[in-house]
Amino acid sequence: MVYAIAIPVALVLGYALSTGLDPSGDQSSLLVVILAVLFLALPILLKWHHILLIFFWNAVVVVPFVPGRPSVWLLLAMLSFGISWLNGLLGGSKFLKVPELTRPLLFLAVVVLVTGVLRGGIGLNVLGSASYGGRNYFYILGAIIGYFALTAVRIPLADTKRVATTFFLSGTSCLLGNIILMLGPAFYILFATVSTDYLSGELTTGALALPGMERFITLTITSSALVCFFLIRWGLRGTFSYGHPWRGVLFIATILLGLLGGYRSVVLMIGILLACQFCIEGLWLTRFLPILLAVSVCAAGMLFLLSDRLPLPVQRAVSFLPVKVDPGVAYDAAASLEWRVEMWKVVVKQIPQYLFLGKGYRIDPEELYLAMTGTGGSDAIPAQESLVAGDYHNGPLSVIVPMGIWGAFGFLWLLGAGVSVLYRNFRYGDPALHNINAFLLAFFLMQSIDFLTIFGAFNGQLYLFTGLLGLSVSLNGGAVQPRRVVARAAGIAIFTGRRSPVSVRV
């Protein structure tokens, strides 16, 4: 059997490789290689597709040799969904059903498909289409499909903590680009499997910034992943436990490390996350509240006195606060906000035009070229390239302009249903999942607030929301409902968090 399979596959692969794998040329050989690799990996995918999807959901790993170099999670989401669907048809385990989440996701999928078709089709330039922007549709639909793929399997209770931490810690893979760069040219071939978006952002901002203003974006992403690890593992109460002082020290050091990216939004996001976690854990009713207030006052005083002596990226991260910072840092931060505000003024005027039928994601190559070369005309603005590409740096605008009012309604529907499901899983879920469910609720609330008020990109961030919801459903076996335990003879009704109703006869 081994020879009968391996020899024909080797012959087919040898022929395909000998004809070349130029993505810009004939795609037949490339398709043969991809299918052959998938065929050989089929036993692994059949057994571990769900775990692999969770592991790569937040990883910055891409599929090499595939046009457009899509993220691995996108390919795994489609493969895992297909495997789970076929398994269900053959009598295997069924998808975990949560109708209150399924409805808004299916509604969003219909809105995206209808908008794409009516606005010029869903085409990919890398596959020969005459326009750009088609990949945005695939990432949105992939995020929706990924939710269903995540909810295809109930994670055993003994594995929940390990799976949840893996889901978030995979974000530290953003450091792979830096590691490859340090190893030297001999290892640059590995860039074919690693997204270089964060690394290129570091190199670009470092080249254009003030001396000493190099921004370490990958450290910010890594810091966020480690903060998630602390809160999943121990929560705020356990992180700052008197019996384990090293946890609190490492946690604070991790947050400070993230400030080296120079992002003001990171300070706000961490603050919102910790505030949500603090309230959800009920710490505001304990002695932690006066301790927190005292520590906050001391930290604010130290920041006010020493702000202009901090590293420049950290000064930029706190520049929105009423503290003294370097004049060059203040100018850079103000200029960054100014070009966004100018772009928002232009985009807001487009809302009535695309209110009932969204603009979609189709980009005219000629218009994009003019924006990139700065020859877009006298009415062009500094953010013209981002404007043409639909990168509005604003959550509500990134939904209502491309998807219209229907997309905005569907997304708000999803956020509301998501908060409801996550709260019930936290309130009535298994006590062994208390820390995990508390963090997932806090993190979802933070992401929602951040998207609606600070920064957001619907096409690039929907997978974060569907991933959180899919993980929660998979960990808890669905959406936990409060059930009524009825003692009929005594006429006593007791509410419990069990998943199935129980009747007690006394």
SS3 485: strand
Q: Which of 147, 234, 186 is nearest to 436 (CA)?
A: 234
CB distance 19 to 39 below 8 Å:
no
Write the CB contacts of 137 (distance below 8 Å, at least 6 apart in sequence): 112, 116, 122, 361
Q: Which of 475, 485, 450 is nearest to 464 (CA)?
A: 450
Task: Give the residue with greater pLDDT, 67 vs 27.
Answer: 67
Would you say residue 493 has pLDDT above 70?
A: no
Burial grade of 66 (CB within 10 A; 0-12, 13-18, 19 or more)? middle
Positive or negative CA dihedral for 72, 452, 397, 320? negative
Q: How large is the average pLDDT for residues 308-332? A: 88
Would you say residue 178 has pLDDT above 70?
A: yes
What is residue 24's predicted lDDT score, i.e. its pLDDT? 47
**E strand or H helix at 484, and its extent?**
strand 483-487
Q: How large is the average pLDDT for residues 435-453? A: 95
Domain boundaries, the chain: 41-476
pLDDT in tens, 394-416: 999 999 999 999 999 999 999 99
R_g over Cα of the chain: 25
CB distance 188 to 500 below 8 Å:
no
- What is the rounded average pLDDT for all residues in the chain? 83
CA distance 361 to 149: 25
What would the two tokens of residue 452 be? 């609606």
pTM for this prediction: 0.87
SS3 486: strand
CA distance 270 to 249: 16
What is residue 495's predicted lDDT score, i.e. its pLDDT? 46
Task: Give the residue with greater pLDDT, 185 vs 92.
Answer: 185
What would the two tokens of residue 110 be? 């219909």
Q: How large is the average pLDDT for residues 3-18? A: 75
CA distance 497 to 495: 7
Q: Which of 259, 270, 267, 254 is nearest to 215 (CA)?
A: 259
Percent helix, strand and coil across the chain, each to the nearest 5: 70, 5, 25
Hey, which of 16-20, 292-296, 376-380, 414-418 has the most confident mean pLDDT? 414-418
CB distance 278 to 290 below 8 Å:
no
At 163, is the pLDDT very low, low, confident or very high (cuts 50, 70, 90)?
Answer: very high
CA distance 41 to 33: 12
Q: Would you list the DSSP string of 76-105? A: HHHHHHHHHHHHHHTT-PPPPP-HHHHHHH
What is residue 210's predicted lDDT score, i.e. its pLDDT? 62
Q: Which of 364, 351, 446, 352 is nearest to 398 (CA)?
A: 351
Q: Hunting for tokens 């295809």 — which residue is that?
A: 152
Calculate what percentage of the chain has a pLDDT beyond 90: 42
Would you say residue 487 has pLDDT above 60?
A: no
Tell me how far CA of residue 442 lies from CA of 270, 274, 314, 379, in angstroms: 11, 8, 25, 43
What is residue 498's predicted lDDT score, i.e. its pLDDT? 44
Q: How large is the average pLDDT for residues 53-65? A: 89
